[in-house]
Amino acid sequence: MPADIAAFSLDLEQMAIDPYPTYREMRAVAPVAFVPELGVWMVTRWDDVEAVATDRDTWGSPAGLDRLDRTFGEPNILTADGDVHASLRLGIDKRLRPRAVGGYVDDLVRPTARRLAERLRDGGEAELVAEYLEPLSVLVLGELLSLGDLGADALRRLFKELQQGSGNTTGDPTRFAVSDGAVAEIMAHVDPILDRLEEEPDGSLLAHMLHAGGAPRPRSEIYPSFLIVMSGGMREPVHAGATTLLGLLTNPDQLEQVITDPKLITRAIVEGLRWIAPIAQAVRSPVTDAELAGVPLPAGAMVHAVVASANRDERRFQRPDEYDLARSPNAHLSFGHGRHFCAGNFFARQMLRIGLEELLHAVPALRLDPEAGEPRVHGLMFRAPVELRVRCR
């Protein structure tokens, strides 16, 4: 870093507890700043974050996300650019477009959501992350990825093991060994399915990944992105669901409105996604020397476009730290923007809508357990309530 560029120091432990006061300060005094503790540049205002995601001539995928390439393999959808990226998206998008999702999502999600919600109601007390959102997410996405017969416990273990690698910012070999084990186990399960799909394509997402573009693709082009869909696709809806429920449970008048008028659930989820972005940043690098908000950035610099901060930019939102169902405008950047915009965004929102419909229908008396203390929200790169202890009657 050149000596004349101001650095903005972060207390990472404090940021994981509550990053928002620091983001506010950064937006005010250093909206594009080098953060020595992470070795990255952070961009924190809405307009600049949007510019990073949409200006394709200046910004490309980062060269330095080695831990993703190491965990999932290459080429993968998150770190690829240009034609390679477009070809990988082709295989994934077909089953995730709104029209396609609309045709299957209710049958896929509602029976599982209902069964899990009725079990909560009958139990009286629950922890919503482990007992509702996680099993719902892994079972539904497992089914979408032809992994349904593995069952909730194995799927939950596998997706957490994958994240040992993808979140391994220190390059710890023991963590990569855990994710390598999960990758081998998943491939051993999926290989025979791909063998079958080569001969008999069906309408599954895996079949589309295999056959998009004509002749069956080599498995080296399928697995990296398949593993990314499995890893992110199972975790982020859990985080978004937990955040939305936290917003509602801590604002009982808004929860009451949603129970009275379930059509508001869609809006509640949008505001949950804005309020606490499950993935705090999109990582990009300028392809040539660039300038953002007057700050020069060298080609190849690792830049975090902090959507979690943009979503609370006071230049765009009034009272941005509050969860507000009636907020207008309420658009957010939590699914990213531009070329890498989340492929599963529509699916995730529909799955959460149905999940919350069933939960609030089965458990209209849902409220935070007064004896459990205030729910703890944690995480800097990935953020969500750790637990949501509730009473159901």
What is the phi/psi pair of residue 195, to 5°? -55, -45
The answer to the question of residue 139 lying near ligand HEM (CB under 6 A) is no
Stretch that binds ligand HEM, among 4-12, 211-219, 233-241, 311-319 (CB under 6 A): 233-241
Interatomic CA distance for residues 192 and 182, integer angstroms? 17
Whole-number minimum distance, CB 62 to ligand HEM, in Å? 9
Residues 6+ apart with CB under 8 A from 150: 142, 158, 189
Which of 33, 78, 297, 380 touches ligand HEM by CB under 6 A? 78
Task: Output 231 or 254, the one with its CB closest to ligand HEM.
Answer: 231
**What residue is closest to ligand HEM based on CB?**
344
The answer to the question of residue 159 lying near ligand HEM (CB under 6 A) is no
Contact pattern for ligand HEM over residues 346 through 375, marking x by CB under 6 A: -xx---------------------------
Contact pattern for ligand HEM over residues 177 through 216, marking x by CB under 6 A: ----------------------------------------
Which of 155, 160, 162, 157 lies closest to 141 in space, CA to CA? 155
Interatomic CA distance for residues 341 and 334, integer angstroms? 9
The answer to the question of residue 385 lying near ligand HEM (CB under 6 A) is no
Interatomic CA distance for residues 187 and 189, integer angstroms? 5
Which of 275, 323, 335, 382 touches ligand HEM by CB under 6 A? 335
Whole-number minimum distance, CB 230 to ligand HEM, in Å? 8
The answer to the question of residue 278 lying near ligand HEM (CB under 6 A) is yes
The answer to the question of residue 334 lying near ligand HEM (CB under 6 A) is yes
Whole-number minimum distance, CB 135 to ligand HEM, in Å? 15
The answer to the question of residue 247 lying near ligand HEM (CB under 6 A) is no
What SS3 state is found at 301? coil
What is the phi/psi pair of residue 126, to 5°? -160, 165
The answer to the question of residue 343 lying near ligand HEM (CB under 6 A) is yes
DSSP state of 328: S
CB atoms near residue 323 (< 10 Å): 20
Query: Which helix (H) or strand (E) covers residue 383, if one does?
Result: none
Task: Output 9 or 220, the one with its CB closest to ligand HEM.
Answer: 220
Which of 333, 357, 356, 355 lies closest to 345 in space, CA to CA? 333
Whole-number minimum distance, CB 6 to ligand HEM, in Å? 26
Query: Which helix (H) or strand (E) covers residue 129, if one does?
Result: none
The answer to the question of residue 237 lying near ligand HEM (CB under 6 A) is yes
Task: Output 167 or 296, the one with its CB closest to ligand HEM.
Answer: 167
Q: Answer for the pair 323, 247: CB distance below 8 angstroms, yes or no.
A: yes
Interatomic CA distance for residues 314 and 321, integer angstroms? 9
The answer to the question of residue 236 lying near ligand HEM (CB under 6 A) is yes
Which of 133, 147, 227, 240 touches ligand HEM by CB under 6 A? 240
Interatomic CA distance for residues 350 and 98, integer angstroms? 9
Task: Output 116 or 242, the one with its CB closest to ligand HEM.
Answer: 242
Query: Which helix (H) or strand (E) covers residue 140, if one does?
Result: helix 134-144
Whole-number minimum distance, CB 393 to ligand HEM, in Å? 29
Q: Number of residues in contact with ligand HEM, rule: CB under 6 A?
A: 24
Task: Output 150 or 392, the one with its CB closest to ligand HEM.
Answer: 150
- Strand runs (DSSP E) across the chain, as ranges? 32-35, 40-43, 59-60, 125-127, 281-286, 290-292, 295-297, 303-306, 367-368, 377-378, 384-385, 389-391
Stretch that binds ligand HEM, among 3-11, 112-120, 333-341, 367-375 (CB under 6 A): 333-341
Which structure tokens are listed for 243? 């955040």
**CA distance to 64, 275, 313, 380, per residue, from 308 (Å):** 21, 8, 9, 9
Query: By the criterion CB under 6 A, which residues form the site for ligand HEM?
Result: 77-78, 89, 92, 96, 228-229, 232-233, 236-237, 240, 278-279, 282, 334-336, 340, 342-344, 347-348
